[in-house]
Amino acid sequence: MLDIVEGLKLCRDRKERAVLATILEVEGSAYRREGARCLISESGRIIGTLSGGCVEGDLFEHARAVMETGVSRTVRYDFRPEGDIFWGLGLGCNGALTIWLQSFDPIHHSEQAEQLVQDFQNRVSSMEAYTIGIVVESEDRIKLPVGTQIILNEADRDLHGFHRSSYRLKDTVIDGVSVKLFIEPVKPRPRLVIFGAGPDAVPLVRQAKALDWHVTVADHRKDYANRKNFPEVDELVITGRGDCSELPVGEETYVVVMTHNFELDRTLVQNMLPRPIPYLGVLGSRNRIERMLDEILLSGVELKEKCLKKLHSPVGLDIGAESPEEIALSILAEMVCRKNGRNGQSLKFRKEPLHERNKGIESVPVGA
């Protein structure tokens, strides 16, 4: 999402028209799901992807028409056997996409363009989940313009009949105007806090940033925790030795402890386990973490089972990682598994649809 925001800002600053393409509905199998976006600029630059390159070329021609007219529209691609023959793209896919092309014109409609930039900036900076309804069709474009984004509360969800976590198209009436809404849940960017600013934290920061995570590195050593070593990090926090009391962590915060100091790691683990975080990864061997937990118990601290479920040590998936880059990949892959409720198995063994959550994975209790 950050790349879309930066792309919108760039087009705004350059006074360049663009089209924001959003997948509204998917039937069958597809490369991306509802809510996926790409930005198509007047110069031909495409930021983001909807289909792995399958439709972007054709989509650009539709986008040019939207730029010229300033009128948003929907386009449908059907790649199921008969539909694929119709489109003549020969993709061999087995799904259909409904894509909405939204005009972005900072030249003739600067106010609407600025509002769109602000709406998406709010998404990437939000610390809390919320649900929005985007007007994709309107019976009265003057009173309720296409592209209007409405934050929906509990009463709205009851009124319009949708679940907080669901993407869907909904025909409804707002302020007396018949509209078609694209209901979209907005989740905060996942946050990663890394305790330990050693060299092996560098690839973990880099890979997490590539996935648009918000990343914080905390360490008591100023010579390690600095912008020279971590130019991409969102936040650098200088702490006392093992002190994390003032560092905010919550339900969207994934924590990795990798100070390489046993006493510091033990203190951090003891402080972090009761926090309402979904994931606590600790670098080191199984014997090392067992020794830590034994010492924590001996100190009189009770370790509840629901707290221990968030603990991952040795940290990461079993991919035979050896280099710092491979270890970082292993850790991040495990965090993504946890975030998405998956178990990390090879996809060739998966029986359920690829984009359906595993119902057998127990979610991490928060607020423990």
Instruction: Please give the pLDDT value at position 24.
Output: 94
Q: Which of 219, 213, 216 is nearest to 197 (CA)?
A: 219
Instruction: Please give the pLDDT value at position 368.
Output: 31
C-alpha 210/C-alpha 207 separation (Å) is 5
Pairing of strands 214-219, 191-195: parallel
Check the CA dihedral 214-32-163-153 and report its sign.
positive
150, 132 contact by CB (below 8 A) = yes
Instruction: Please give the pLDDT value at position 243.
Output: 72
Instruction: Please give the pLDDT value at position 92.
Output: 45
C-alpha pair distances (Å), 157 with each of 23, 148, 154: 21, 17, 5
User: Residue 62 corresponds to which tokens in the numbers above?
Assistant: 């539709």
Q: What pLDDT, in 10s, does the model give residues 136-167? A: 999 999 999 999 999 988 766 555 555 556 88
C-alpha 263/C-alpha 220 separation (Å) is 14
Q: What's this model's pTM, rounded to 2 decimal places?
A: 0.78
DSSP state of 44: S
Instruction: Please give the pLDDT value at position 88.
Output: 43
C-alpha 41/C-alpha 34 separation (Å) is 21
Q: Which residues, given as ranges, of the chain have pLDDT below 70?
A: 52-54, 81-94, 155-165, 242, 245-246, 353-368
Instruction: Please give the pLDDT value at position 356.
Output: 55
C-alpha pair distances (Å), 49 with each of 171, 230, 362: 27, 28, 31
Q: Which of 12, 217, 37 is nearest to 123 (CA)?
A: 37
Tell me whether residue 286 is exposed, middle or buried, using C-beta atoms within 10 angstroms of its C-beta: 0 to 12, 13 to 18, 19 or more: exposed
Instruction: Please give the pLDDT value at position 300.
Output: 79
Instruction: Please give the pLDDT value at position 349.
Output: 84
Check the CA dihedral 141-146-149-150 and report its sign.
positive
Instruction: Please give the pLDDT value at position 264.
Output: 94
Domains of the chain: 2-108 (no CATH), 126-186 (no CATH), 191-349 (3.40.50.720)
202, 225 contact by CB (below 8 A) = no
Instruction: Please give the pLDDT value at position 82.
Output: 57
